[in-house]
Structure 1
């Protein structure tokens, strides 16, 4: 790889990392190609980017984008995106189903976080799920009121 190619890759990564809300670094050693394709397809569906990057290039891009503190050793695959929850869900779900895939570290909300926080974020409901819950809460009193009125009507008719 030539120096100009490296500079181009770093610039592209830096731009992507600046826009991302979460970056998750995972170990993928021993993972088969089919499983990597599964991860990429699942990530694509959730607007998450996945890429295997040399640690030196990733470290430069992360530093230039203001996201410092991630410890990068051994073989790494990087997952990032604009939505913290989707990145966390993709990484945690894939880790559950594959023993060769391990979350090593993450950068969320402007700070380096532990793996436990990534897994906790993965368990949180998404925006659409939260909106559905809110609508259920708002509809519950109206539903209960109409059920009560219907029961009262049936009682009056039976008398």
Structure 2
């Protein structure tokens, strides 16, 4: 690869990093073409980008990245051997869920590391990351908890109206009987 091409690739990786909410590094060695295509398809379906690049170019892009430069040294040890970079979209947890599902079927791909919300996670943290709530799940939980007090108030108001209607009905029956 000539120098100009390396600069272009580094720039592309750096742009993807800036557009990502999280980065995941995986080892794809030993995967069949079918397994790689299946993984890429799962990522594509969730609007997650996945690239295989030379480790030296990935490290250079990390060092030049405004968002992830502080993690370049920490991630350098994981940039050995075949490495794929997963660029999370809006939901930083979604790639962990996909990787966990894939590694339950086989031991490939191997999770190396991730940077999420300013935190570096090593290879032993995939299980923990996959159990975190996704962005949509968190929004749903918040909406549910916000809706809960409103439902209680509506129920209380309905109960008061129902009780008032019952009292008026009883008073009307007593007046008609008298």
Give the TM-score of the pair, scaled to structure 1.
0.79
Hey, what does 1:29 align to over in structure 2?
A: 29
Q: Is the 8 A contact 2:25 2:112 kept in 1?
A: yes
SS for the counterpart of 1:20 is coil
Q: Does 1:54 align with 2:62?
A: no
Q: For residues 75 and 32 of structure 1, what CA distance do their matches in structure 2 show? A: 14
Q: Is the 8 A contact 2:25 2:85 kept in 1?
A: yes
Give the TM-score of the pair, scaled to structure 2.
0.71
Map of 1:12-91 to 2, 5 A cutoff? 12-65=12-65, 66=69, 67-68=71-72, 69-70=74-75, 71=77, 72-82=79-89, 83-91=91-99
Q: Is the 8 A contact 2:114 2:120 kept in 1?
A: yes
SS for the counterpart of 1:79 is strand
Unaligned runs of 5+ in 2: 167-178
Q: Is the 8 A contact 2:102 2:108 kept in 1?
A: no
Q: For residues 101 and 24 of structure 1, what CA distance do their matches in structure 2 show? A: 12
Per-residue CA deviations over 1:110-142 (Å, capped at 9, x if unaligned) read: 342223444322212222223333444435984
- What displacement does 1:63 show? 1.2
- Structure number with bigger Rg: 2
Q: For residues 40 and 53 of structure 1, what CA distance do their matches in structure 2 show? A: 15
Hey, what does 2:172 align to over in structure 1?
A: none
Matched pairs, number: 151
Q: 2:138 aligns with which of 130, 149, 157?
A: 130
How big is the alpha-carbon RMSD for the aligned residues of Structure 1 and Structure 2? 2.6
